[in-house]
A and B are shown apart, each in its own frame.
Chain A
Amino acid sequence: MTTSELLKTPLAPMHEALGARMVPFSGWLMPLQYEGLVAEHLHTRKSAGLFDLSHMGRLAITGPGALDLIQHATTNDASRLAIGAAQYSLICNERGTVIEDLLVYRLPDRWLLVVNASNRTRVVAHLDSLREGLGCDAALQDETFDVALIGLQGPESQAVLQPMVEGDLSALSYYHARADHFGADEVIVSRSGYTGEDGFELMAPSSLAIEIWQQLLADGAVRSIGLGARDTLRLEAGMALYGHELTEEITPFEACLGRVVRLDKGDFVGRDALAELHARGPDRKLVGLATEGGAVPRAGFPVVAGESVRHSDLGKEPADVGVIASGTFSPTLRHPIATAFVRSDLATPGTAMGVRIREASVPARVVSLPFVPHHTKR
């Protein structure tokens, strides 16, 4: 795919003016970094970072059958959402493995699903076919290209955003959204994010995106943050990225997301399989790993049994007991971190492991997630 065939968000000219390194990402041309990944990451944890999330799919669902469609498609219980509330949820297939992870918002006039850029067209097709199968009276509209999504994340987010909107942000709680005004223009402000920090996500007409970005960036506490730091921030926060911690080969219970699978809410796609998987318990589980030394465990590297296990297996080559899902260098902790799927009996924090990095087996131990504590507002 050449650059000209890539989709561009309404903020693309802004990123280029700011000198961002632009890269293809899920069919979109997106900023990888501006001043540098580590500096951007640390700035977000300390102050406030601005993220262009307009590549993420935004799907509006309206009509009397909207809730019914969402309940059938997703694993969490959307009927528990009050107006203005949001929930993290999954879309599974009939085998009980994960097609998509998403946010479901119940807004006053519509339901809104925020889905991964990489899965948007697939999710639209899945919902369309489900709607036809169920005969739901619901309409699905893809708002992705009409509405910009801008993230503001970090401890200074509220102080930065408050003077620019009308509503009292201290009264807006985590995973809640409401209509507000940014200057004269109507926007939706959501208190949510993908960094583990307090922060907001703004949905505004695409035509306003650059103006909003410039106004927020004019505050000295704010810097632009690229996709590189977005990934290291989410991994430190122990949050799943589709394609790594979640795929169609992974169940919600393996990914430690059983809390968003509501087997008691009524029928939904994958429920029978998920009930059986839940009763049986997962053979492997997602864990955090901290490794020794500087070499970084990367996705796909094998995880082998550590000293505690090898002891009873003297003389044998350590067998693979898992695989790395995501790995990076943690700018906050200053050492490599990784998520891995490992045998369930080895998933206890403190368990010694090894990660095969090139020719070496690097000592690692299981640590609890998140790697860096969350500072979200409750």
Chain B
Amino acid sequence: MSEDGAGVPDDRRYTEEHEWAMRSDDAVVVGITDFAQSELGDIVYVELPKVGGRVVALKEFGVVESVKSASDLYSPVTGEVVAINEALTDHPELVNSSPYDDGWMIRVRVDNLAELDTLLDAAAYRKLVG
């Protein structure tokens, strides 16, 4: 765990709600940060949108539930969901163990890739959680 923000990867952007968004080919992959999973504690359920559905920047796209509570997930970008991480159905704890890799949540074909530039960069996010 890195609650001081030391482990925040430089290869992606961040929201103030603790989601990350990373460009991958022509799409953007979205997940939650290490800080977020650590604050939530043991994650037991992740509710994601259907493939083909639309997500809108700064609007809710799903719910993550820890043992203690349910929290909304906010999309960093606007576009169409082209894939969801099916592994989270049986293994929601992947969000705890690997928030930046195996615990990814949705893959979005964004309307406008420039939207990424409006998000926090790693240095700004480190400052937020530091």
Docked-complex contact A232 and B63, CB < 8 angstroms: no
Chain A residue numbers with a CB within 8 Å of B42 are 36-38, 331
- Closest B-chain residue to A36, C-beta based? B42
Most A Cβ at <10 Å: residue of B46, B66, B69: B66
Q: Across the two chains, which residue of chain B brings its CB closest to A21? A: B41
Partner of B68, one of A228, A294, A336, A358: A228
Chain B residues positioned under 8 Å from A38 (CB to CB): 42, 67
Contacts of A295 in B (CB 8 A): 45, 47, 63, 65
Interface positions, chain B 89-103, Cβ under 8 Å from A, are 89, 92
| Contact A296-B41, Cβ < 8 Å, known A329-B65, A358-B63 | no
Nearest neighbor of B45 in chain A, beta-carbon distance: A294
Closest to B42 in A: A38
Kindly state the separation between the CA atoms of A329 and B40 in the bound complex, as whole angstroms: 14
Indicate if the CB atoms of B45 and A228 lie closer than 8 Å.
no
Interface contact A37-B67, CB-CB below 8 Å: yes
Q: Is the CB of A329 within 8 A of B41?
A: no
Residues of chain A within 8 A (CB-CB) of B66 are 37
CA distance A331 to B68 in the complex (A): 12
Smallest CB separation, B64 vs chain A (Å): 11
Complex Cα gap A295–B48 (Å):
12
* Chain B residues numbered 22-64 whose CB sits less than 8 Å from any CB in chain A: 41-42, 44-47, 63
A294 to B89, CA, bound (A): 8
Alpha-carbon distance between A358 and B45 when the two chains are bound, in angstroms: 14
A97 at interface by CB-CB < 8 Å: no
- Does A33 make an interface contact (CB < 8 A)? yes
Closest to A335 in B: B44
The size of the chain A interface, using a CB distance under 8 A, is 15
Number of A-B residue pairs with CB-CB distance less than 8 Å in the complex they form: 43
Task: Check A294–B65 contact: CB distance below 8 A.
Answer: yes
List, in ascending order, chain A residues with CB within 8 A of B69's CB: 298
Beta-carbon nearest neighbor of A232 in chain B: B67
Q: Which of A23-52 contact B (CB under 8 A)?
A: 33, 36-38
List B contacts of A118 (CB < 8 A): none
A296–B92 touching, CB < 8 Å: no
Checking B45, B46, B47, B63 against A329 with a beta-carbon cut-off of 8 angstroms, the contacting residue is: B45
Most buried by A among B66, B68, B89: B68
Which residue in A33, A298, A328, A358 is a CB contact (below 8 Å) of B41?
A33
Q: Does B113 contact A (CB under 8 A)?
A: no
B124 within 8 A of A: no
Measured in the bound complex, the distance between the Cα atoms of B48 and A44 in whole Å is: 33
> Does A228 contact B47, Cβ atoms closer than 8 Å?
no
Known: A294-B65, A296-B65. A37 touches B70 (CB 8 A): no
The smallest C-beta distance from B77 to any residue of chain A, in angstroms, reads 23
Contacts of A331 on B, CB cut-off 8 Å?
42, 67
For A334, give the chain B residue with the smallest CB separation.
B44
Output the nearest chain A residue to B39 by Cβ-Cβ distance.
A21
Q: Collect the chain A residues with CB atoms within 8 Å of residue B41's CB.
A: 33, 36-37, 228
On chain A, the residues within 8 Å of B70 by CB distance are: 296, 298
Contact for B44 among A36, A228, A294, A298, CB less than 8 A: A294
Provide the bound-state CA to CA distance between A36 and B40, in Å. 10
CB distance from A31 to the nearest CB of B (A): 13
Instruction: Using CB atoms and an 8 Å cutoff, list the residues of chain A in contact with chain B.
Output: 33, 36-38, 228, 232, 294-296, 298, 328-329, 331, 336, 358
10 pairs, CB–CB < 8 Å, chain A vs chain B: A36-B42, A37-B42, A37-B66, A38-B42, A38-B67, A228-B67, A298-B69, A329-B65, A329-B67, A331-B67
19 more A-B residue pairs beyond the given contacts A294-B89, A295-B63, A336-B45, with a C-beta to C-beta distance below 8 A? A33-B41, A37-B41, A38-B67, A228-B67, A228-B68, A232-B67, A294-B45, A294-B46, A294-B65, A295-B65, A296-B44, A296-B67, A296-B70, A328-B67, A328-B68, A329-B44, A331-B42, A331-B67, A358-B47
